[in-house]
Amino acid sequence: MRYTTFGRNTGLRVSELALGTGNFGTGWGYGSEREEARAVFDGFANAGGNFIDTADTYQTGQSEGLVGDFIASDRDHFVVATKYTLSARPDAGVALTGNSRRNMITSVENSLKRLKTDRIDLLWAHFDDRLTPLEEVVRAFDDLIRSGKLLYAGLSNFPAWKVSRADTLADLRGWSRIAGIQVEYSLADRSAERELLPMAEALGIAATLWSPLGGGMLTGKYRTSQEGRLQGFGGRLVQREKDPALLDEVLTIAREINVLPLQVAIAWIRYHAGRSSTAMIPIIGSRTPEQLADTLAALKVSLSDEQVRRLDTVSAIDPGTPHRQIADTLSRAQGVGAEYLNIRPPRA
């Protein structure tokens, strides 16, 4: 496995894939028992993976507890990311949820105990709670980083304007800057391309990408079975097949190069990650060692430019406002030979 720095603004070295541990534990009534979770963790580590992503809320705290046990013998080898906002307690009320300074500190102290460590390498605010001022979140991040309990901070599932404002506030006030974002991204949902990914590239922020297989849809298995997230998670976090042409193309290319469909989906992300100026890191959420082995095999899969173009075309999204208007205007200007289109921009 190869490695990358976590964006252009840090020297943090992480593996090109992150292991998502939402399946570690059975607190949600679905997931991996300890032995199976351990086998997945060891398989990822033995393949060279060092980037582990968990959250206080995953499996009602069981995920953090298992990760803490698994990293204990070689803590310094792993980059451990966890999240706060939603709480490990299913009955958590208003005082134990949200992005306030109070909840951040309480959550971090509890996560440190479950992870059995003295610091968290990367803390995510799990969701935008739409209530807590960004100044409070970013300053609290900075205070915990200065205390040594955190090393880096990021924003997960936040709109681009809030991420960019938070990073600007931190930069102007001398606080620790936002190191990364976490966002859903796959062939099945490319909406992050409208604002979030261009913002991350412009600011040098790393992008970790959850659900790179569309919650399993891009494996093709849900055309014939309900087993997996559709069954165990009740369909949550699964991209529904809106247009069969997308999965048809994934399956066709998989047959062309004799690989699994999921490996095509991961290879497509890696193709574009290799052309980005900042880190784009898929988070793989394998529940079993067999699933992990199939996913890791994607690291050996290469797509041709022509195959990528086919996938880009069949998965293309409407750019939305204002991007559609900008593109339409530039297209019309091209037709009439507008002078400003002859300006050559400086090289980056």
Helix (H, G, I), strand (E, B) or coil at 24: strand
271 among known catalytic residues: no
Helices (H) and strands (E) in the chain, counts: 12, 10
Question: Going by C-beta distance under 8 Å and a sequence separation of 6 or more, which residues neighbour residue 11?
Answer: 5
Q: At 253, is the secondary structure helix, strand, or coil?
A: helix
Q: Are strands 280-284 and 206-210 parallel, antiparallel or unpaired?
A: parallel
SS3 (DSSP) at 190: coil
* DSSP structural state of residue 313: H
- State both tokens at 59: 């499996």
The residues near 89 (Cβ < 8 Å, ≥ 6 apart) are 60, 61, 96
Instruction: Name 154's bridge partners.
Output: 124, 180
**Dihedral sign computed on CA atoms, order 281, 3, 219, 83:** negative
Report the SS3 class of residue 32: strand
Pairwise CA distance, residues 305 & 132, whole Å: 44
Q: Which candidate in 30, 58, 152, 185 is catalytic?
A: 58
If phi over 0 gives left and psi between -120 and 50 gives alpha, with beta otherwise, what is residue 98?
Answer: left
How many other CB atoms are found less than 10 A from the CB of residue 302? 10
On the CB side of 113, CA atoms within 13 Å amount to 7
Length of the chain: 348
The set of catalytic residues is 58
